[in-house]
Amino acid sequence: MESAAVKSQLKGGEFLLKESTIEDIFIPEDFNEEQKMIRQTAYDFLIQEVLPHARKIDKQEDNTLLEVLGKFANLGFLGTHMPTEYGGLDFDNHTNTLISEVMGPSGSFTVAYAAHIGIGMLPILYFGTDEQKSHYLPRLILGELKASYCLTEPGSGSDALAAKTRADLSEDGTKYILNGQKMWISNAGFADIFIVFAKIGGEKFTGFIVERNTPGLTFGEEEEKMGIKGSSTRQVFFENVAVPVDNLLGEIGKGHLIAFNVLNIGRYKLGALCLGGAQGSADTAIKYANERVQFGQAISNFGAIKYKIAEQAIRIFSGQSALYRVSHLLQKKREELAAEGVPFAKAKLEGAEEYAIECSILKIVGSEVVDYVVDETLQIHGGMGFSEEGTAARGYRDSRINRIYEGTNEINRMLMVDQLFKRALKGELDLVGPAWAVQKELASMPVLENVSGPYAEEKKAITDFKKILLMVAGAAAKSQMDGKINLKEEQEVLFNLSDMLTDLFLAESTLLRVEKLSTKADKQINQEVYDAILKVFLHDASFRMQKNATDALSSFSEGDLLKTFLMGVKRFSKYPIQPVKEARRKVADCLIAANAYVLGA
């Protein structure tokens, strides 16, 4: 693996092959005063304008959601990620990520907001003509127009390219006639424009901008959903809908580039929103645990509750560490491309495409962390958590969708491994050399290493995690080359590899954040708390790495070869056993004393 002396920008997936240092990352504790002011403005809006109306929004009463969205637009928050030439604010990536985090606890409002600024606006920014951008983006930024995105159909969910909606050029060549059906369309009840995907001539998958008042465009009733009840979700029907040829989006037959690239950013944003929602839920759990008295004392005094609070915090902290690491990669890539003269939209698009693996990781992590957190928050509330009087029940219902949309977590797990191997085959990543180096190390006698210095054991653990992953990935690739397995059909092995990639990225991101915090004099929390988070995460991740590696290897290896590989797993899994009970209690006691989740920025 390449040494830490290499300071070039990491490419997508390259975290597996190169080391990073604290100079290579951004952490939430690095925010400047201007960013903190923007965060406070967004937070004040959440507290004053969104949460007090949560019940009305959930019941879709009095157009409350649209009124709140309009007020958010008046503050400029629908255009923070847009170029100034269209009326946007062009905030840096860290600030936009921070806004998403802050708005994470806003439930159904989050869905409408995220669908509008993300999959609704970005296709036009990235793929629209100059005329389309000038015509639509200023009004979308002001909130005069609302946007929606029509991809999913009854017969095409994860397999988006199986869509049957059809577009045919009219005889006079001025319009495309659309016929078909879309379902699960967010914002469909009030959107003014729709990004629609259809196959020209039944074959060429293409994007279109369709306006709401177009004849033949009709809508189903509002779906009755398990959660995010306040968001508008309807079916959309196209019956001889005539769309001007000027409203074709991107190139004919290249609709998949729009759909998949926009989803990369959508996954990143969803990860941020989920982690923000998790922080809000954890804060609720801490406050309730301090208020609720049983057996003569606050339930926050009990070990079982401390475990839950600490585990919530550890999972959020590690996810947030990864989030801002990727935010930094995206920001630096955008700056690098801008310096080369690449236009604004193209620079953002290429950055998202470069870090597709990392965006999938964040989508999975964010959605699964928030699911864990809301579940334990409800459990801490006991019977009150099951009641709709509080917020725990709504948070529990609302969070579940996150593992499904923007590509299911199963699809994202397979995508990230597929992307890794594709980049290796294209020569963009050298997996073969490092994997072969690990194989040679396995064949040699173990060398007693002198582990010393700050976080030396943790750094060695990260290096060993990379060796395990390279060993398993190399062995899987070799088995495929030998015709023993077909990885596309071995989804269980792909899941093992993806979970190892995820644990590695989270572990290294957490280490880098904690190490960087150790150099800061103005941090709010005692460094021992951060160290405790790191040690618990690495302790648990080490066992998960062992299990995933063992499960994968035993799927395609046997006999002496399997024994050799398992010796490698053992050799590269030697992070010292940690006193995790005491470490978790240290984390929990910090939050309980603060009566709040105080591990963010």
Query: CA nearest 255: which of 127, 406, 416, 407?
Result: 127
Q: For the residues 468-493, what does the mean pLDDT come to?
A: 92
- Provide the Cα torsion 195, 201, 202, 206; round to 10°: -30
Q: What is the mean pLDDT of the chain?
A: 94
The set of catalytic residues is 406
> For residue 177, what are its two tokens?
């006639």
Q: Which two tokens stand for residue 284?
A: 């609720």
Q: What are phi and psi of 568, to 5 degrees?
A: -65, -40
Rounded distance between C-alpha atoms, residue 301 and residue 293, angstroms: 10
Phi, psi of 193 (to 5 degrees): -135, 150
The whole-model pTM stands at: 0.95
Q: Name the token pair of 233.
A: 């979700």
SS3 134: helix
> What's the pLDDT at 7?
55
Give the pair of three-digit tokens for residue 422. Answer: 């594709």
pLDDT given for residue 161 in this prediction: 82
Residues 476-511: b if buried by 16+ CB within 10 A, e if exposed:
bbbbbeeeebebeebeebbbbbbbbbbbbbbbbbbb
Cα–Cα distance for residue pair 6/19, rounded to 1 Å: 8
Helices 580-594 & 303-339, crossing angle to 10 degrees? 80
d(CA 333, CA 350): 8
Which two tokens mark 597? 């989740």
Q: Does the pLDDT of residue 260 top 80, yes or no?
A: yes
Cβ atoms within 10 Å, residue 450: 7
- Its CATH architecture, for the domain 147-252, is Beta Barrel (2.40)
Residue where the block lists tokens 């199986």: 162
List residues bridging with 218 in a β-sheet: 237
Q: For the segment 482-525, what is each residue's pLDDT rounded down to a tens digit?
A: 888 999 899 999 999 999 999 999 999 999 999 999 999 888 88
* 213 alpha-carbon distance from chain centroid: 34
Question: How far are the Cα atoms of 144, 151, 261 from residue 250, in angstroms, in the given order?
Answer: 24, 15, 12
CB 183 within 8 A of CB 222: no
Tens digit of each residue's pLDDT (9 = 90 or more) over 150-206 = 999 998 877 878 899 999 999 999 999 999 999 999 999 999 999 999 999 999 999
d(CA 262, CA 272): 16
| Reduced DSSP (H G I as helix, E B as strand, rest coil) percent helix, strand, coil of the chain, to 5 | 60, 10, 30
Which helix (H) or strand (E) segment holds residue 200: the answer is strand 193-200
Instruction: Find out whether 546 and 573 touch, Cβ atoms under 8 Å.
Output: yes
Find the mean pLDDT for residues 530-542.
98
The domains of the chain are located at 147-252
User: Whose structure tokens read 């920001």?
Assistant: 331
pLDDT in tens, 367-425: 999 999 999 999 999 999 999 988 999 999 999 999 999 899 999 999 999 999 999 99
Confidence grade of residue 453 (pLDDT, cut at 50, 70, 90): confident
Q: Which tens digit of pLDDT belongs to each residue from 301-316?
A: 999 999 999 999 999 9
Could you tell me the two tokens for 46? Answer: 């959440």
Evaluated on CA atoms 71, 73, 75, 78, the torsion sign reads positive
Pairing of strands 204-211, 166-169: unpaired
Short-list 338, 337, 319, CA closest to 327: 319
Residues 6+ apart with CB under 8 A from 443: none
